[in-house]
Amino acid sequence: MKHNIPFLQKKLFSFFVFTTLEPTYKDLSRTYEREKGAVLMTWKNALFGLASVAILFSIYTSWQKYAAPSEVKTASVLARVKNSRTIKCGYWVFEPYITKDIDSGKIGGMTADYLEKVAARSGLKIEWAQELSFEQMVPALSYDRIDMFCIPCNLPPEYRKVLDFAGSFGKLPYYVYVPFNSKISKTDLETARFAAGESYLTIKLTPEKFPKAQLIPLPQMASIAEIYEQLKYNKADAVLNEDISAQGYMKNNPNIIRRWSDEPVDIKEMVFTIKKNEKEWGAFVHQMTDTNLPENKALFRSLIKKYGLTEKSLLF
């Protein structure tokens, strides 16, 4: 009769039989050993060794059968989103893109408004799943804790090795900002002292645009306000940065800094960050968020007005 004993029960059963019969086996062995001497001992050791090998091999092959989770393929991001009808967003609180109510924890802001409305057109909803730093973004996307990092950005080239960019959220112009009463000339600006945060794009953009300038790097934890404060306390002559953060600082700190020229030094495409090699998901995100689409362009223009920005702050 064939016994249908589960895997672990089989192992315990084998161990029980082996340990129960071993004393009887030893008694018989002693009698036989007195008659056969060393020959029996050699036979016993060989048998025991073969039995041990057989048990270990059985355990190993059984383990191999069940323990290979890394080989199991997970569903693509697009398939997961379509199945759940939900996009799990990672985010970073950065006004006016993303805001977070201190009491309720409700997420708002220009990006939140935009994504929630364009996602709804596709029959999807946004779940603001996790607040993340840029350092936490890579593992969160790689291990599928989020589907998209929902802060529009333009990250340094090294990020492209481990992440992909998708979608559209307009274009961000970068200007030079100087102390409010500064009379610095274009010639002097070329060799001026420029402050830049090490965690921001401008740490590399500044020397690209002003190769003869003196770069004053601020640590990764430095805030945008701390970067502009270098101008206030005469620790730097200029800052290269986007206009949205500058407008926020000038609103709270009037007559401290000003835009040196209305001509942008550079313009960067603003995109969203997704998991590497998810091409179908990237194409879907781009189609959903593209600000060149008429319905999206109208929405984008209304949000620029709602959040008090200007055409020099965010282009489309």
Model confidence pLDDT, tens digit, residues 39-76: 334 444 433 343 443 433 343 333 333 333 334 456 89
Instruction: Give the pLDDT of residue 63.
Output: 36
Instruction: Give the pLDDT of residue 311.
Output: 78
* Cβ neighbours of 222 (radius 10 Å): 18
Instruction: Give the pLDDT of residue 279.
Output: 95
Low-confidence residues of the chain, pLDDT below 70?
1-74
3-class DSSP state for residue 254? coil
| Per-residue pLDDT tens digits for 151-190 | 998 877 778 889 999 998 999 999 999 999 999 999 999 9
Instruction: Give the pLDDT of residue 75.
Output: 83
For 314, phi then psi, to 5°, come to: -150, 120
Instruction: Give the pLDDT of residue 267.
Output: 95
Q: pTM for this one? A: 0.70
Sign for the CA dihedral angle at 240, 245, 250, 256 comes to negative
Q: Give the span between the Cα atoms of 116 and 108, in whole angstroms.
A: 10
* Cβ neighbours of 27 (radius 10 Å): 9
Instruction: Give the pLDDT of residue 12.
Output: 31
Tokens, residue 55 = 């048990």
Q: Which domains does the chain have, with CATH numbers?
A: 7-71 (no CATH), 77-170+270-306 (3.40.190.10), 172-267 (3.40.190.10)
Instruction: Give the pLDDT of residue 73.
Output: 53
